[in-house]
Amino acid sequence: MASNLAKNSDEAAGCLYVKVSMDGAPYLRKVDLKTYNNYREFSSALEKMFSCFTIGQCGSNGDGLSESRLMDLLHGSEYVLTYEDKDGDWMLVGDVPWEMFTDSCRRLRIMKGSEAIGLGIPY
């Protein structure tokens, strides 16, 4: 109950914090989605947070990722950025408009591409 009160007070204050985890990373990050206006800004921030990883090309309109994959520059492993929506389903980041994403995102996971089979990623 205390976590619900904290979350509600954050939302009332204009904040929307979600946790970001990455497969193989020993730490989590917490980001406020309200501080970003589109996928391009958000992906740039994640790139800085997980500095040994880089995010694929953003769409030319700046409001959608044409590629939601990440690449581990040290080991050549491919990662994808996914999120859990309010229904508990895991989706690919960039598949819906930014506003819909911020309304439904509950947490984020940067997962290995091999684990993301079934989320619409062709292999």
**Residue 4 in domain:** no
Tell which wins on pLDDT, 42 or 119: 42
Split at pLDDT 50, 70, 90, the class of 6 is very low
What CATH number is associated with residue 43? 3.10.20.90
Lowest-confidence segment of 7-11, 60-64, 70-74, 85-89 by average pLDDT = 60-64
Nearest Cα to 10, choosing from 34, 45, 28?
34
Does the structure show a pLDDT above 60 at 46?
yes
pTM equals 0.68
**Residue 21 in domain:** yes
What's the domain count of the chain? 1
CA atoms within 13 Å, Cβ hemisphere of 102: 19
The helix or strand, by DSSP H or E, that contains position 111, with its residue range, turns out to be strand 107-112
CB 80 within 8 A of CB 92: yes
**Residue 12 in domain:** no
Average pLDDT across the chain, whole number: 73
